[in-house]
């Protein structure tokens, strides 16, 4: 190659000087997306089986409420840790499938995606609790507040211990520990 061509190629592919780095980065197009749009865009990425299993947790509630016994709250509270397990399983999906590094290099950070999915499933589970608590309250002779506490405590205990395990042990097998926590709390 002749020297003039080499100079033109070097000039065309020359890196910007360090002084203009910030200006160059700010000149790159970044389409803005609102938080609400971002959270709603994550809904299709949650497995349909998670939605289905969350709804199937309502079946023991309907069964227990049909008998209207005093054990309804205890039967239902034994199933709430599995709602938490579904939430944790969905949040660790990228670690289970080995996609952590790929998702960390994507447009949205892995933490943002996991947080959005936790928010979505948390709101959905709260909706389930809004159905479960009145049904259990009607079936039992305890107050509405006690019913809520009896149902939320196993769910929140499983969620907090499982999130601690997920944060502490970053491997694929951590979901088995979370399952053990859910079974233990349910028992």
CA 168/CA 8 separation, integer angstroms: 53
Radius of gyration from C-alpha coordinates of the chain: 25
pLDDT at site 68:
62
Task: Pick out the chain residues at pLDDT < 70.
Answer: 1, 16-20, 61-62, 64-70, 98, 100-105
CA 9/CA 110 separation, integer angstroms: 38
Count of CB atoms within 10 A of residue 120's CB? 18
CA 154/CA 82 separation, integer angstroms: 9
The helix or strand, by DSSP H or E, that contains position 101, with its residue range, turns out to be helix 100-104
pLDDT at site 19:
64
Instruction: Give the pLDDT confidence of 34-88 residue by residue, as tens digits.
Output: 888 888 888 888 888 888 888 887 777 667 666 666 677 788 888 888 888 888 8
Q: Give the global pTM.
A: 0.73
pLDDT at site 105:
67
pLDDT at site 128:
85
């Amino acid at each position: 190659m002749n020297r003039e061509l080499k100079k033109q190629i070097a000039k065309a592919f020359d890196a910007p000087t360090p002084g203009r780095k910030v200006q160059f980065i700010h000149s790159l197009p970044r389409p803005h997306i609102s938080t609400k749009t971002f959270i709603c865009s994550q809904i299709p990425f949650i497995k349909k089986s998670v939605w289905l299993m969350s709804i199937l947790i309502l079946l023991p509630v309907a069964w227990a409420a049909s008998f209207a016994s005093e054990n309804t709250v205890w039967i239902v509270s034994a199933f709430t840790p599995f709602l938490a397990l579904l939430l944790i399983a969905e949040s660790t999906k990228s670690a289970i499938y080995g996609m952590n590094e790929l998702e960390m290099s994507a447009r949205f950070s892995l933490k943002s995606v996991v947080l959005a999915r936790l928010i979505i499933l948390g709101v959905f589970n709260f909706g389930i609790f809004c159905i479960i608590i009145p049904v259990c309250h009607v079936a039992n002779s305890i107050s509405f507040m006690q019913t809520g506490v009896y149902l939320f405590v196993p769910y929140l205990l499983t969620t907090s211990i499982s999130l601690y395990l997920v944060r502490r042990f970053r491997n694929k097998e951590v979901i088995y520990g979370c399952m053990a926590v859910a079974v233990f709390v349910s028992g």
